[in-house]
Structure 1
Amino acid sequence: MDYRKINSHIILLLIVFIAALAIAMIGRLIVLELGVDAGTANLTFVIIFGVC
């Protein structure tokens, strides 16, 4: 495998993607614990993930 093709930008984007996914999942869980229905919690997930 040619490791020169994996540059630092791809690694940085993956780290940001994983962090945004984790933040959105935590936000969804908080909204679900507040007693909101699953559809609104999923919409909250999409909005938070989009902002991140």
Structure 2
Amino acid sequence: MDLVRIILAVILPPLGVFFQEGLGKHFWLNVLLTLLGYIPGIVHAVWIISSRDPARA
């Protein structure tokens, strides 16, 4: 499932973060980063997806 989220994060970064975290602070931060520059949005989204808490899986 993480692979699907990472692919979504590359195509549309806020969507990948939304599927990982929901409409929280990380989502809105990612929207802002994506608007300021596409690459920072991708980096943030992949970081959020890859650094999730294993206990939540």
Q: Does TM, normalized by the shorter one, top 0.5?
A: no
Specify the structure having the higher radius of gyration (Cα). 1
Structure 1 length as normaliser, TM-score?
Answer: 0.40
Structure 2 length as normaliser, TM-score?
Answer: 0.37
